[in-house]
Amino acid sequence: MRSPVWTVGWGLALVSAVGVLVVGDASWAWAQSREGAEQEAAELLQIVDRVQLILIVIGTALGTLFLTIAGVRWMVAGGEPGSIDSAKRALTGTAIGYGIAVLASTLMQILDWVLAAQAGGGQ
C-alpha cells in the first residue's frame, strides 16, 4: 500500500504536467485566434475600402450628371429668371454634394489614421 504523501506527490505531478500541456496549448490557440482575428479584420477593412470606393464612384458620377443637367437647364432657360434661379439652385446643390463627398472621404482617411495610431501601427 502506498503512503498518502506518495499519492499526493504523483497527483501533483500529474496535475502540473496536464497544466503545462493545457497552458502551452492554450497560448498556442490564443496566438492562432489572434492571427485569425487580425486576418479577418484585414479582410473586413478591404471590404469597407471597396464599398467606400464604389460609393465615391457612384457619387461622383451622379454629381457630374446633375451638374450637366443644371448647366443644360441654365443654357435653355432663355433668360427667364425663374428657370435661371432653378438652375442656380441645382448647381448649388451639386456643389454642396461634391463638398460632402470630399469631406466624407477625408473624414474616413482621418478615422483610418486615428485607428491605425491607436492599434500601434501609426503611419
In this predicted model, what pLDDT tens digit does every residue of 55-99 receive, in sequence order?
888 888 888 999 999 999 999 998 899 999 999 999 999 898 888
Please say whether the beta carbons of 31 and 55 come within 8 A.
Answer: no
The residue ranking higher by pLDDT, 60 or 36, is 60
Domain locations in the chain?
45-118
* Apex 75 CA angle, 72 and 79, nearest 5: 140
21 band by pLDDT with thresholds 50, 70 and 90: very low
Q: Using a cut of 0.75, tell me whether the model's pTM lies above it.
A: no
